[in-house]
Amino acid sequence: MKVLVVGNGGREHALVWKLSQSPLVKELYVARGNAGAWELARRVDISPTDVEALADFAAENRIDFTVVGPEAPLVKGIVDAFEKRGLKIFGPNRKAAKLEGSKAFAKAFMRKYGIPTAEYAVFDAFDEAARFVKARKAPLVVKADGLAAGKGSVVCKTEEEALKTLDAFLNRKVFGEACNKVVVEEFLEGEEASYIVMVNGERYLPLPTSQDHKRLLDGDRGPNTGGMGAYSPTPVITPELEKRIKELVVEPTLAGLKEEGIYFRGFLYVGLMITDEGPKVLEYNVRLGDPEAQPLLMRIKNDFLETLLTFYEEGKGKIEEDERWALDVVLASRGYPEKPETGKIVHGLEHLKKMENVVVFHAGTDVKDGFVVTAGGRVLNVCAYGDTLREAKERAYEAIRFVCFEGMHYRKDIGDKAFKYLKA
Ligand code: AMP
Ligand code: GLY
């Protein structure tokens, strides 16, 4: 069959890589993809957010099945555009994608259905929000309502910082329309974890667990990013905790969606804080995480396209997990996440292709004059398998020694936080 993957990042290269292994695939396309994905799939030169043009392309080329990576096309209604043309596509429709597309919507939904989350209030004017912040004690978390490429949530340690953020969002609208409203919420303490399931109405299928590293610098310092590395599985999510997450979060969420008359089919990612009071939802995403998807997909042993297809039709399917660990280190450009440099030649990729148990997923890369060049903030995901997490980590960092581009930087401590759980 003909399959299309929508998106440009590391997650989408990993999807292309995994789907290309399926004997069911005759032709694989990627819109737009990156230099790595183009080695496995035909490049479609349409922006992932040009949803009508993508739907026309899929109709004209008789694409049998489409998988969407990023949130922006989903929030824009790519699924509605495809379904209007009778095309099969895996992802939530526009209404369901609001769980990620509007934090105020997601918070109200959680409050209504008793899903544990931080206490909060919503504001559309600075003065009122400022009064609230002054009445409460910092730390507080200020979040832009709409999509802001992972930069819309700011943990504010002081009142001053919270007021500055409110000013940037509500007065200066630094993320445009996404700043029409803000959510101000209680700061939660605990360990972060994410849990990703495939959803079809009330049915769901858990994917292998994974752990992201959101901060730019070692030791979880520096600004939030899209994610600087990940590994799978994560020992933070024990079988008992997984059971609680299903009962307290996943199942009430699906029941609530049904109650609201919202049909959800696609990946549902719950970002959690594991507090002393139990798991609480930080956010919903309506897609796979990036970079969580990379190690997660590396650990699925069976034909993932077959799983997607049967799950799409019937809400069931199987996931066979590899016993090994997988770990992903993101190599970023100088200036990321603020103002990444681009256009730098990437050296050493050929060498990595020969390494055993090492997989490289491109993110922001392009091809220029026959060379792979950087084209975004997150450039490459260097991933490795290991019989232990330590082995996967050592192997990934060993491989990184062979790649370079001007201004390249990365975290040196991906996976380290898991070791304390593994010792215990
Ligand atoms: P979000 O975009 O809502 O996932 O937030 C991005 C990051 O900000 C999360 O991964 C957390 O590290 C942090 N964060 C968000 N909300 C809270 C909260 N209520 N308490 C503590 N940290 C938070
Ligand atoms: N890595 C976090 C996310 O994809 O939202």
User: How many CB atoms within 10 Å of residue 86?
Assistant: 7
Q: Hey, what are 297's tokens? A: 């997909």
Task: Answer whether 337 contacts ligand 2 (Cβ < 6 A).
Answer: no
Closest protein CA for atom 8 of ligand 1: 153
| Alpha carbon distance 275, 282 (integer Å) | 11
Over residues 304-331, mean pLDDT? 97
Contact 232/210 with Cβ under 8 angstroms? Answer: yes
pLDDT at position 137 is: 86
Q: Hey, what are 4's tokens? A: 């299309």
Phi, psi dihedral angles at 34 (to 5 degrees):
-150, 180
| Alpha carbon distance 290, 91 (integer Å) | 16
Model confidence pLDDT, tens digit, residues 54-75: 999 999 999 999 999 999 999 9
Percent of the chain at pLDDT above 90? 95
Task: Answer whether 271 contacts ligand 2 (Cβ < 6 A).
Answer: no
**Ligand nearest to the CA of residue 193, numbered in listed order:** 1
Task: Answer whether 178 contacts ligand 1 (Cβ < 6 A).
Answer: no
pLDDT at position 424 is: 57
pLDDT at position 4 is: 98
79 pLDDT band, cuts 50/70/90, is very high
- Triad 252, 226, 395: Cα angle to 5°: 105
Model confidence pLDDT, tens digit, residues 160-216: 999 999 999 999 999 999 999 999 999 999 988 889 999 999 999 999 999 999 999
Closest protein CA for atom 2 of ligand 2: 289
* Cα 135 to middle of ligand 2, angstroms: 32
pLDDT at position 223 is: 87
Task: Answer whether 227 contacts ligand 2 (Cβ < 6 A).
Answer: yes
Ligand 1 atom closest to the CA of 214, numbered from 1: 10
**Ligand nearest to the CA of residue 285, numbered in listed order:** 2
Task: Answer whether 285 contacts ligand 2 (Cβ < 6 A).
Answer: yes
* Cα 175 to middle of ligand 1, angstroms: 18
pLDDT at position 130 is: 94
Task: Answer whether 292 contacts ligand 2 (Cβ < 6 A).
Answer: yes
Residue from 285, 328, 361 whose mutation best tests the ligand 2 pocket (most atoms within 8 A of CB):
285
pLDDT at position 420 is: 83
Whether the pLDDT of residue 418 is over 80: the answer is yes
Whether the pLDDT of residue 423 is over 90: the answer is no
Model confidence pLDDT, tens digit, residues 33-55: 999 999 999 999 999 999 999 99
150 pLDDT band, cuts 50/70/90, is confident
Closest protein CA for atom 5 of ligand 2: 289
Closest protein CA for atom 4 of ligand 2: 289
Residue from 194, 216, 294 whose mutation best tests the ligand 2 pocket (most atoms within 8 A of CB):
194
* Cα 114 to middle of ligand 2, angstroms: 24
CA-based nearest residue to 265, from 208, 212, 316: 316
Whether the pLDDT of residue 286 is over 90: the answer is yes
Domains of the chain, earliest start first? 2-91 (3.40.50.20), 125-180 (3.30.1490.20), 191-314 (3.30.470.20), 325-423 (3.90.600.10)
Could you tell me the CA-to-CA distances from 62 to 4, 10, 329 in Å, in that order? 10, 26, 37
Q: Is 209 in a helix, a strand, or coil?
A: coil
Ligand 2 atom closest to the CA of 285, numbered from 1: 5
Ligand 1 atom closest to the CA of 185, numbered from 1: 19
* Cα 155 to middle of ligand 1, angstroms: 7
Model confidence pLDDT, tens digit, residues 95-137: 999 999 999 999 999 999 999 999 999 999 999 999 999 999 8
At which residue do the structure tokens 């939660």 appear? 188
Contact 361/14 with Cβ under 8 angstroms? Answer: yes
Query: What's the whole-number average pLDDT of the chain?
Result: 96
Model confidence pLDDT, tens digit, residues 251-261: 999 999 999 99
Residue 247's Cβ-count burial label (10 Å; 0-12, 13-18, 19+) is: exposed
Over residues 238-248, mean pLDDT? 96
